[in-house]
Chain A
Amino acid sequence: MITVDWVSPLRPDTTDIAEYTVRVEKALSGCFSLNLITNENAGDLGTYRFDAGPFYNIGNDVRFHGGILSACQKISGIVIAHDFRIQNLLIARLKAEHDDWESAYQALMEQHYGREGEAAARHFIAGKTSLAQVSETFPGIEVAAANALCVITHNSGLVEELANRTGLYCFALPLPFPVCEYLPERQEAGEGPNLLIFGYLGENRGLDVVCELLREYPHIRLHIAGQIGTPRLRDMVEAMKAAGHSIVDHGFVTESELDRLVRDSDLVVNLRNPSMGEVSGSQLRIFAQGGLSVVCATGWYASLPDEAVLKVRPERMKQELGAIVERLRQDRRAFDAMRHAGRQFVATTHGLDHFATCFRALYEALPEALSHGRRVLLAKHMAKTYERAGAGDAISSETLFHKASLLL
């Protein structure tokens, strides 16, 4: 049995990455033993076994990943980038560590992105640009990977970009998701189509677009499960309810209740615009529960099979979503074949057995990747030596990497 240090938020943390780790542990049982290290303990060297790894699970929420970010910047390991854009995490961490977080942020952005990065940080601090806009060009994942030896993503579409941005080997792993063999019967409620939107509903989740549709199609019933993320959206939903629209706000629900809502809805609206680059555990849940869903044709979502999910273009989101709703209004079973295709898709590409096979293959390829990572880090170390000697410009990073390759 191989033991790997696995640094991750754990239950009862309210993040899907804690559930992910539970699934990983289950999938790998028998071959790998995970030495589970929490976000809180991530900085404690004594918790590491160092047989392999450590594997750092990085997401964008400082509550669950702040300690992990600090640890992976100090102790080299393998970064699993659950999110590609982690500017929220970076800023929250700096705020926790520095009185003058603004200066620290500008310095950090300059260190990783040069003058353009520093300028973007300045504009954000001055309120001239949003963090989402900053994230588009400067995702921040380079900061988490600065001392890493290799990177893993669950989004195969990001492999090349991550490798280019970090200089490290990057591997894609499927997001593991269990699919139960039998599903309870669907219960269709009411006359009109039932729409469901769930999770943490920030400004990028399309809730306002759905509310606009409700005005055009008053027979739609909208179910909301989870948390509405901004005061503007909360006010909008309250106003719609007050105006008599059919909105059921379930708040946080249990896993099984959420599964039931997914199954019984006529359409799950799972939009991300912009996308943070993540593979969506929510989308896999929808597939696994035989749900019908609509996504934005961007990022990882664009790569999903057309026969399994409905897609809308971000710039025509309202019109195209409206067309789908109209079709469902005419025939609630119009897209039922997609429900089956979605379940097939998640079972074959994200099942636990498939994940275990992919992880074993990755583990066999790791020595070469880690060796490359050590050469990259040694080259960075040598670069610092040249800089200290005032000769930073005298040698290119390619030459330094070549020198490091001669040594390791």
Chain B
Amino acid sequence: MRIVVVNTQAPFVSGGAEEHARRLLEELRARGHQAESVTIPFNWASAEAIIEHAVAASNIDLSGFFGEPIDLMIGLRFPAYLMRHPNKAIWLIHQYREAYDLWDAGRSGLRNDPTGNLVRQIITDMDTKALSGAIRLYANSRNVADRLQKYNALKSSPLYHPPPLATRIRPGETGDFLYFPSRISSLKRQGLVLEALSHTKSEVRVIFSGSPDSARDGEMFQGRIAALNLERKAIWRGHVPVEEMLDLYANSLGVVFPPFDEDLGYVTLEAMLAEKPVVTTTDSGGPLEFITDGKHGLVVKPDPHALAGAFDQLFLDRYLARNLGRMARSRYDELSISWDSVIDKLTGAA
């Protein structure tokens, strides 16, 4: 099949979504499809700009070029999936969350824009219309599928895929530190983990890795470590090479991942592959699809004291930590997460 994978691009910004699209292309090509990537820039600097880009995307027809039809379009993100094609499959990484759950949570920048409410409603209408016209509608997690049901009344199925490091992650020793790999961002809530560390009673440490969303995020994070006198307990390694990340996963006591309403979160799946328990929170979204409290990790309220208790519990009971980690790995294996399954479903072969 001739397939285009359409995605959104913010120039000079690259993260999990870009990696995800790149991997999808590779997997399609590996199965004999002619696959090409089409990206459009998306600038959400203002409510006005969002509509400009959405309208621009919706004007692009991808049904064919130079007399050759394109058999299938796979849309991943807003507003790229607004591009037009008669055979449109959607594998939703996420919608423009500031118009949906982040608006409801009072965390949307649109709320500060006089046209924000209107733009939010226009985005909702556009999404509903464009996504309801898709021949296949998948989300990359149950959490994302639930949002689509809640805000657009559209039914979709979660379609899980292996995380990028799936083939390289390995279990190792049970160390004396917790590992928190993620970009430094308010939505990932590294700040909450620092607050928790200031309340721990044991000698537990947390090693953070990941680049900050902005220089200011990085400065604020470092400043908070200093303000709470946590230099010994909180270690930030910044961006780390893959090999170092694999070692950190392998030799950690467990993985901390308490984001706010995460779409999916590779971190959870990678921790499970590394046989590590995951400490997450009741409002973290994606991780809760895989982690059950007391079975594959510890799920606590998004509260510093509750998190501190979970950290201490794992530090003081290594047997529990190892056991939860093994159960997490078993859970991952039960899910039969594979690229074969993903490609078959997206192309209609399954």
Q: Give residues in A with beta carbon < 8 Å to B.
A: 45, 48, 50, 74-76, 149, 370-371, 374, 377-378, 381-382, 385, 406-408
Q: Give residues in B with beta carbon < 8 Å to A.
A: 51-52, 54-55, 58, 82, 111-112, 114-118, 121-122, 125-126, 129-130
Q: How far is the CA of A377 from the CA of B117 in the complex (A)?
A: 13
Looking across the interface, which residue of chain B has its beta carbon closest to that of A149?
B118
With A45-B111, A374-B122, A378-B122 known to touch, is A407 a contact of B55 (CB < 8 Å)?
Answer: yes
Q: How far is the CA of A315 from the CA of B88 in the complex (A)?
A: 67
Q: Are B112 and A45 in contact (CB under 8 A)?
A: yes
Which residues of B have CB within 8 Å of A76? 115, 117-118
Which residues of A have CB within 8 Å of B129? 406-408
Q: How far is the CA of A374 from the CA of B52 in the complex (A)?
A: 15
Q: Are A408 and B55 in contact (CB under 8 A)?
A: no
Q: Are B111 and A374 in contact (CB under 8 A)?
A: no
Q: Are A408 and B122 in contact (CB under 8 A)?
A: yes
A406 → B minimal CB distance (Å) = 8
With A45-B112, A74-B114, A374-B118 known to touch, is A407 a contact of B58 (CB < 8 Å)?
Answer: yes
Looking across the interface, which residue of chain A has its beta carbon closest to that of B114?
A74
Which residues of B have CB within 8 Å of A382? 55
Q: How far is the CA of A381 from the CA of B55 in the complex (A)?
A: 10
B55 → A minimal CB distance (Å) = 6
Q: Are A374 and B125 in contact (CB under 8 A)?
A: yes
Q: Are A75 and B115 in contact (CB under 8 A)?
A: yes
Q: Are B121 and A374 in contact (CB under 8 A)?
A: yes
Looking across the interface, which residue of chain A has its beta carbon closest to that of B117?
A50
Which residues of A have CB within 8 Å of B82? 407
Out of B111, B115, B125, name the residue touching A371 (CB < 8 Å): B125
Looking across the interface, which residue of chain B has its beta carbon closest to that of A54?
B117
Q: How far is the CA of A45 from the CA of B108 in the complex (A)?
A: 13
Most B Cβ at <10 Å: residue of A76, A149, A385: A76
Looking across the interface, which residue of chain B has its beta carbon closest to that of A5?
B117
Which residues of A have CB within 8 Å of B52? 385
Looking across the interface, which residue of chain B has its beta carbon closest to that of A71?
B114
Out of B54, B114, B121, name the residue touching A45 (CB < 8 Å): B114
A397 → B minimal CB distance (Å) = 16
Which residues of A have CB within 8 Å of B58? 406-407
Q: How far is the CA of A45 from the CA of B54 in the complex (A)?
A: 24
Q: How far is the CA of A48 from the CA of B114 in the complex (A)?
A: 10
Which residues of A have CB within 8 Å of B116? 45
Which residues of B have CB within 8 Å of A45? 111-112, 114, 116
Which residues of A have CB within 8 Å of B125? 371, 374, 407-408
Q: How far is the CA of A391 from the CA of B115 in the complex (A)?
A: 25
Q: How far is the CA of A149 from the CA of B115 in the complex (A)?
A: 12
Q: Are B111 and A377 in contact (CB under 8 A)?
A: no
The 3 closest A-B pairs by CB, nearest first: A408-B125, A74-B114, A76-B118
Q: How far is the CA of A407 from the CA of B112 in the complex (A)?
A: 25
Looking across the interface, which residue of chain B has its beta carbon closest to that of A371?
B125
Looking across the interface, which residue of chain A has its beta carbon closest to that of B52?
A385
B252 → A minimal CB distance (Å) = 43
Looking across the interface, which residue of chain B has its beta carbon closest to that of A405?
B129
Which residues of B have CB within 8 Å of A370? 121
Q: List 27 A-B contacts (CB under 8 A).
A: A45-B111, A48-B117, A50-B117, A74-B114, A74-B115, A75-B114, A75-B118, A76-B117, A76-B118, A370-B121, A371-B125, A374-B118, A377-B118, A377-B122, A378-B51, A378-B55, A381-B55, A382-B55, A385-B52, A385-B55, A406-B58, A407-B54, A407-B58, A407-B82, A407-B125, A407-B129, A408-B122
A77 → B minimal CB distance (Å) = 9
Which residues of A have CB within 8 Å of B114? 45, 74-75
Which residues of B have CB within 8 Å of A50? 117
Q: How far is the CA of A381 from the CA of B58 in the complex (A)?
A: 14
Q: Are A407 and B126 in contact (CB under 8 A)?
A: yes
Looking across the interface, which residue of chain A has its beta carbon closest to that of B55?
A382
A205 → B minimal CB distance (Å) = 38
Which residues of A have CB within 8 Å of B54? 407
Q: How far is the CA of A93 from the CA of B271 in the complex (A)?
A: 62
Which residues of B have CB within 8 Å of A48? 117
B131 → A minimal CB distance (Å) = 12
Most A Cβ at <10 Å: residue of B52, B116, B122, B130: B122
Which residues of A have CB within 8 Å of B111? 45
Q: How far is the CA of A252 from the CA of B54 in the complex (A)?
A: 56
Q: How far is the CA of A149 from the CA of B117 in the complex (A)?
A: 12
Q: How far is the CA of A57 from the CA of B47 in the complex (A)?
A: 26
Q: Are A75 and B117 in contact (CB under 8 A)?
A: yes
Q: How far is the CA of A76 from the CA of B114 in the complex (A)?
A: 8
Which residues of A have CB within 8 Å of B122? 374, 377-378, 408
A345 → B minimal CB distance (Å) = 39
Q: How far is the CA of A351 from the CA of B286 in the complex (A)?
A: 53
B125 → A minimal CB distance (Å) = 4
A79 → B minimal CB distance (Å) = 14
Which residues of A have CB within 8 Å of B55? 378, 381-382, 385, 407
Q: How far is the CA of A74 from the CA of B58 in the complex (A)?
A: 25
Q: How far is the CA of A370 from the CA of B121 in the complex (A)?
A: 10
Q: How far is the CA of A382 from the CA of B58 in the complex (A)?
A: 12
Looking across the interface, which residue of chain B has its beta carbon closest to that of A48?
B117
Looking across the interface, which residue of chain B has its beta carbon closest to that of A378?
B122
Q: How far is the CA of A82 from the CA of B121 in the complex (A)?
A: 27
B18 → A minimal CB distance (Å) = 26
B77 → A minimal CB distance (Å) = 17
Q: How far is the CA of A245 from the CA of B130 in the complex (A)?
A: 75
Q: How far is the CA of A331 from the CA of B114 in the complex (A)?
A: 61
Q: How far is the CA of A407 from the CA of B131 in the complex (A)?
A: 11
Q: How far is the CA of A390 from the CA of B22 in the complex (A)?
A: 38
Which residues of B have CB within 8 Å of A371? 125
B100 → A minimal CB distance (Å) = 14
Looking across the interface, which residue of chain B has its beta carbon closest to that of A53?
B117
Looking across the interface, which residue of chain B has its beta carbon closest to that of A373?
B118
Q: How far is the CA of A45 from the CA of B116 in the complex (A)?
A: 10
Which residues of A have CB within 8 Å of B51? 378, 381
Which residues of B have CB within 8 Å of A74? 114-115
A387 → B minimal CB distance (Å) = 13
Q: How far is the CA of A408 from the CA of B54 in the complex (A)?
A: 11
Q: How far is the CA of A388 from the CA of B118 in the complex (A)?
A: 22
Which residues of B have CB within 8 Å of A381? 51, 55
Which residues of A have CB within 8 Å of B117? 48, 50, 75-76
A396 → B minimal CB distance (Å) = 17
B117 → A minimal CB distance (Å) = 5
Q: How far is the CA of A75 from the CA of B112 in the complex (A)?
A: 11
Q: How far is the CA of A382 from the CA of B59 in the complex (A)?
A: 11
Supply 13 further A-B pairs (C-beta < 8 A) apart from A45-B112, A75-B115, A407-B126.
Answer: A45-B114, A48-B117, A76-B115, A149-B118, A377-B118, A377-B122, A378-B122, A407-B55, A407-B58, A407-B82, A407-B125, A407-B129, A408-B122
Q: How far is the CA of A149 from the CA of B118 in the complex (A)?
A: 9
